[in-house]
Amino acid sequence: MKKGFVLVALFVLPLVAYLFFASGVNQFGKLPVLTEGVQEIQSIDSEQQLTDRITILGFLGEDPSKMKGNLFNLNQKIYKRFYEFKDFQMLMVMPEGTEAYAEGLKKEVGELSDPVAWHFAFASKDEIKQFYSSLKSPLPLEDDLSTPFVYIIDKKLNLRGRNDDEDQGTKYGFDTRSVADLNNKMEDDVKVILAEYRLALKKNNEYLVEQ
């Protein structure tokens, strides 16, 4: 009896727990849509796109040097964990005239990780303001067109976030100044949206095989 109990405790119960949580992720693990129909970045920079990409979107402003620390936090805590996933990208929006600085940033990031999924978009001040307004975020864009917050945009141009965050209630963006915010919240949310798309792809592939 004792041996049987030990075997159940060691092998069966962990399996049941795994199936329970896996089922929970499949049924409820979707990141809420906070804003539908974000403006496509191609409307202001024809070389970049959001559609069909899972995008971490940021705004570095007219003086990107003051955002360098934030950028490296984001690179170390989020980018390096996920950049190898298909269709995942980092996209930083910057004012026209900062192209050379962006090249320098990408080179510095490349010393720490493969920068293949780092991208930069350039537009006029008015275009950036209009684009940012399409996020419908209550978090302000500073006068220099920068913000420490980054956003998760899905493949259908929806802004994803949290509607039950324990600190903010509705969480639109993630603070790149805060390692805790990136580690404890953003990393989890990126995992959720990637798992969501992997599950959808798996179901679609199973349907095609059945056909």
The count of other CB atoms within 10 Å of the CB of residue 124 is 12
For residue range 62-102, list pLDDT tens digits in order.
Answer: 999 999 999 999 999 999 999 999 899 999 999 999 999 99
Cα atoms found within 13 Å of the Cα of residue 53, Cβ hemisphere only? 21
For residue range 119-178, list pLDDT tens digits in order.
Answer: 999 999 999 999 999 999 999 999 999 999 999 999 999 999 999 999 999 999 999 999
DSSP per-residue string spanning 1-30: -HHHHHHIIIIIHHHHHHHHHHHHHHHH--
Q: Which residue has the tokens 């950049």?
A: 83
| 3, 14, 20 from 6: Cα distances, Å | 5, 12, 21
What is the value of pTM for the model shown?
0.83
Q: Which residue has the tokens 């209630």?
A: 169
- CATH numbers and ranges of domains, the chain: 34-210 (3.40.30.10)
Taking 70 as the threshold, does the pLDDT of residue 26 lie above it?
no
